[in-house]
Amino acid sequence: MKHRMLAGFFSLICGALAGVAHADIKEPPMMTREAWGAKPANIANMLKHDGPYKGIVVHNTATPQAAWKHKTTKQKLQDIQFGHQKNPHLFRKDMIKVQGKWGDFAYHYYIDIDGQIAAARDPQYQGDSGTYYDMSGQLLVVLEGNFDKDPTNAKQLASLDAIVAWLASKHGLSADQITGHRQNFRVGTTKTVSTQCPGANLEKYLPELRRKTAAALQSK
């Protein structure tokens, strides 16, 4: 009995110390929804997360970076939100009954070509996708580009490192809970569409992202 009590005590102490350590990872600079001029979310067409966060999923926008080279970050975000709020729910069995459009920007966080991070969807709500996968408990981070064609760049990857480490720290996630969209895709409806997201050039960076996140969590 005494040994069990001591084990429980040390477990609590270690957990508390881990919480203090992770708290040192600061939120990176981020453009707010207000700053980029987000339209109101239609929360009637959105699902809340029904439990603790269980992972971080990396996406790409799939739009070539050259297509947006004359637009500001604000304009890009507004364009994406406008398009997303026109998309019908086709691959979410739990939302098809709504017979409506996506309620907001599909992803929770956005990183533009220059590494600017922006808050997109309220993270208390599940994201949306043009393919079928379980998004409950998943935090979605999207990078501007089609990374089957576009190369990654140092600014974007540095911002990805920063936001993923912060999210993992904040929500008690481990490095092995960081995945790419394609890893989560699964056949779920008769209208299944495959995906190469987040693209080969970004997907090959994910092992390094996990390594850096693990190191950040350990060193704080």
User: Measured in whole angstroms, how far is the alpha carbon of residue 145 from the centre of its chain?
Assistant: 15
- 131 has a pLDDT exceeding 80: no
pTM of the full predicted structure?
A: 0.82
Structural domains of the chain, with CATH: 27-219 (3.40.80.10)
Q: What is the pLDDT of residues 70-111, one digit of tens each?
A: 899 999 999 999 988 887 766 666 665 555 788 999 999 999
* 91-108 CB burial, b ≥16 within 10 A, e <16: bbeebeebeeebbbbbbb
In the predicted model, what is the mean pLDDT of residues 9-28? 53
The pLDDT, as a whole number, for residue 194 is 59
**CB-based contact 163:117 (threshold 8 Å):** yes
The pLDDT, as a whole number, for residue 100 is 73
The pLDDT, as a whole number, for residue 186 is 59
Q: What is the pLDDT of residues 153-194, one digit of tens each?
A: 999 999 999 999 999 999 999 999 999 877 776 544 444 555
Give residue 205's pLDDT band: very low, low, confident or very high (50, 70, 90): very high
User: What is the rounded radius of gyration, in angstroms, for the C-alpha atoms of the chain?
Assistant: 18
Distance between CA 116 and CA 146 in Å, rounded? 17
Distance between CA 102 and CA 140 in Å, rounded? 15
The pLDDT, as a whole number, for residue 5 is 40
Collapsing DSSP to helix, strand or coil, 131 comes out as coil
Which tops the pLDDT comparison, 4 or 149?
149
Collapsing DSSP to helix, strand or coil, 101 comes out as strand
